[in-house]
Amino acid sequence: MPYVLTVDQHGSQRTADAVDAAVATLATTPTLLGFRRTVGDEFQGLLDDPVSVLAAILSLMRTQRWHVGLGVGPVDRPLPSDGDPTRARGPAFVAARAAVERAKADPHHLGVVAPGADEEAADAKAVLDLLDTVRLGRTDAGWEVVDLVGAGLTQAAAAERLEVSRQAVQQRLRAAGWAVEEAVRPTLVRLLARTEAAAR
């Protein structure tokens, strides 16, 4: 049962349109139907892998410029042959619309709606909120080292790249809450998978 992400830019009346840049950033994310602009400053995509869903959500939440709505449930088949998610239909798309509206009133700008799986969706949302809180406190220096280590570099290689000591890298990772994020990501993948399994 797929996942639908409907994403709306907040504060778009005061800032430049960022949809094309966001869609380009997510272009390498595995999808059933790739991300495309729906209308105005909103875009949407259809995914079937909780790992990819989590990666997309965290990428969007990092910029703090998006209301992110995740809808989980069935979609009508066959999917549009042209790969356009705006032409797809089904309960997951309805849920994603409700989720993005919730996100507009949410402190973390995130909504998760999964008909028939309210408890599972609430669990996933709560842990996503906690991880977002950790990431919001991360400094630019923290993000710099997290991005390197998260891309697969060892701490020693990251220290060499940044021209700092290995101890400095360890301190930055600790302050950035990297160990917490590493531990929480697999938990979130399991929670998203459980939400999908329970949704109807």
CA dist 62 → 58, 139, 143, 192 (Å): 6, 12, 10, 19
Q: How many CA atoms lie within 13 A of 118 on its CB side?
A: 0
Which helix or strand (DSSP H or E) is residue 155 part of? Answer: helix 155-162
Compute the distance between CA of residue 26 and CA of residue 195 in angstroms, rounded to an integer: 23
Compute the distance between CA of residue 34 and CA of residue 122 in angstroms, rounded to an integer: 26
Single pTM value for the model: 0.94
| Predicted confidence (pLDDT) per residue in 131-160, tens digit | 999 999 999 999 999 999 999 999 999 999
% of the chain exceeding 90 in pLDDT: 94
More confidently predicted of 16 and 198: 198
Q: How many CA atoms lie within 13 A of 36 on its CB side?
A: 12
Residue 14: pLDDT over 90: no
Residues whose CB is less than 8 angstroms from the CB of residue 38 and which lie 6 or more positions away in sequence, other chains included: 6, 44, 85, 86
Tell me if residue 138 falls in helix, strand or coil: coil
The mean pLDDT value of the chain amounts to 95
Q: Which CATH number fits domain 3-136: 1.10.10, 3.40.50, 3.30.70, 1.10.1660?
A: 3.30.70
| Residues paired with residue 71 on neighbouring β-strands, in sequence order | 4, 113
Q: Which of 105, 104, 113, 175 is nearest to 139 (CA)?
A: 175
- Sorted by where each begins, the domain ranges of the chain are 3-136, 140-176
Residue 200: pLDDT over 80: yes
176 touches 142 (CB < 8 A):
yes
| Predicted confidence (pLDDT) per residue in 36-54, tens digit | 999 999 999 999 999 999 9
% of the chain exceeding 70 in pLDDT: 100
